[in-house]
Structure 1
């Protein structure tokens, strides 16, 4: 994947990795940060959810009623689906006949 100029401007040196993950997940990267004048920028839960490869809204959907801090806790205690698939595949191969 070769990032276009917009990606290069927005993501800088991370543009190739972001473009690859967008291609793999099939959806564009959400904004990486929430801007708050009082507290400064902080990571956006939607971006963390996207980085983890979770489907959109799994943790961040508004009807869950979670605050941003609760969303981060849930994301931090979550499992990455691709890691789980590799781990399960390894266990199945290790079981033998």
Structure 2
């Protein structure tokens, strides 16, 4: 309780109405419609993020930290596989885009290459410290931005990755606006 006022009764909350509305909804927000062009069974790479805290971290260090947190029962940040780690795991195996534990990102990568009509760039690059880190060109490609849209800007690689992670995917934004503006969702799906 800040300043003697309940947070539920001040600001943007409309307590208890929001809770009742949320609990009373019997359909998913997307009305059960699949995402445009969705293909079942694809394993997608993790989403690029504005922060890239694992960039340059050794795979061994990340896995050891992850195992320590799992042993403690900690659930949250650090438990998923961040993009900078996933692309390094996927490029180690004998078959590109398959991780040592069998996660195959290949079909999703090849599908995105087909949609963009350009191949995926190398997902990692040498960092200033000499290790391997996430490539800004790869983040740019994942976001569907035109080649050079982010990476041709004369700023440090970390800032380019941050821009990519903060950016909205144009294709998703267009689809979102289409869904908002189209009154007949069945006609839109056709």
Alignment coverage as a number of residue pairs: 85
1:1-97 residue pairs with structure 2 within 5 A? 9-12=95-98, 13-36=104-127, 38=129, 40-61=131-152, 64-94=153-183
- Tell me by how many angstroms 1:59 deviates: 0.4
- Tell me by how many angstroms 1:58 deviates: 0.5
Higher RCO, 1 vs 2 (CA within 8 Å, ≥6 residues apart)? 2
Compare the two structures and name the one with the higher helix fraction.
1
- Tell me by how many angstroms 1:38 deviates: 2.7
Q: 1:37 to 1:74 in 2, by over 3 A?
A: closer
- Tell me by how many angstroms 1:70 deviates: 1.2
Unaligned runs of 5+ in 1: 1-7
Superposition RMSD on alpha carbons, in Å? 1.8
- In 2, the alpha carbon distance for the partners of 1:40 and 1:77 equals 24
SS in 2 for 1:53: coil
Q: 1:41 to 1:19 in 2, by over 3 A?
A: same
TM-score by length of structure 2 reads 0.41
Q: 1:37 to 1:65 in 2, by over 3 A?
A: closer
TM-score by length of structure 1 reads 0.77
